[in-house]
Amino acid sequence: MAQLYFYYSAMNAGKSTSLLQSAYNYEERGMNALLYTAAVDDRAGTGVISSRIGLEREAQLFSATTDLFAEVLGMSHTQRFHCLLLDEAQFLSKEQVGQLCRIVDELAIPVLAFGLRTDFRAELFAGSQYLLAWADKLVELKTVCHCGRKANHVLRVGADGQPIKEGAQVEIGGNDRYVSVCRKHYIEALARP
């Protein structure tokens, strides 16, 4: 039975690596994996899922206007897919998470979505909010703070390394812009003048 999975974490927990490993596992067994990534994040190139350990793979793009159900339904007329793997799931809209549910329920294709739970203000992204509410299975991927505790928050930092407290929810960046920390160090960093 197909299910909707949401693999979530702070940054640098290996979400993209896990997604790419899942694709490999399916394909090693002769199954077709359909990969998607967010058009807004082109750090590794347009339509590329890339991990920090050097793995990468081409993927379909989704944007705010993509109807994922219609696209997958259209593609499934010419090719059978055994799973849909979606990176940067935090950028999905409420409607798109509903479309993923339809892919699972109506097309019987398992969906594994990977993304951040919260932004740099410790607030849910829309995609994450509805995945947390509607997914069949929730899996937290863990990473660590510099102190050794589990990192569950993300700090946005400026060029000077100081935390940024305000700004747009979405600002694409990597280790140069974001640091994963535990709640204690998140609160302490934001309390500094």
pLDDT at 170: 64
What's the CATH number where 61 sits? 3.40.50.300
* Model pTM above 0.85: yes
pLDDT at 57: 86
Count of domains for the chain = 1
Let me know if residue 88 belongs to a domain: yes
Let me know if residue 37 belongs to a domain: yes
pLDDT at 101: 98
Helix axes 94-107 and 126-134, enclosed angle (nearest 10): 40
What is the spatial distance between Cα 77 and Cα 150, in angstroms, rounded to a whole number?
44
Domain of 104, in residue numbers? 4-142
Let me know if residue 28 belongs to a domain: yes
* Alpha helices in the chain, H assignment, sequence order: 15-28, 68-76, 94-107, 126-134, 183-191
Q: Which residue spans within the chain are E strands per DSSP?
A: 4-9, 33-38, 48-50, 56-58, 60-62, 83-86, 111-116, 137-140, 143-144, 150-151, 153-156, 178-181
**Catalytic-residue membership of 88:** yes
Let me know if residue 9 belongs to a domain: yes
Angle at 90 between CA 85 and CA 91, to 5 degrees: 95
Let me know if residue 150 belongs to a domain: no
Helix (H) or strand (E) holding 171: none
Residue 41 pLDDT exceeds 80: no
pLDDT at 173: 61
Let me know if residue 41 belongs to a domain: yes
Whether the Cβ atoms of residue 118 and residue 153 lie closer than 8 Å to each other? yes
Let me know if residue 124 belongs to a domain: yes
Whether the Cβ atoms of residue 8 and residue 118 lie closer than 8 Å to each other? no
Confidence of residue 43 (pLDDT cuts 50, 70, 90): low
User: Measuring CA to CA, which residue among 114, 57, 105 is closest to residue 85?
Assistant: 114
Rounded mean pLDDT of 38-51? 74
What percent of the chain clears pLDDT 90, i.e. is strictly above it?
Answer: 67
> What 3-state DSSP class applies to 32?
coil
Q: Catalytic: which of 88, 95, 106, 188?
A: 88
Let me know if residue 191 belongs to a domain: no
Confidence of residue 158 (pLDDT cuts 50, 70, 90): confident
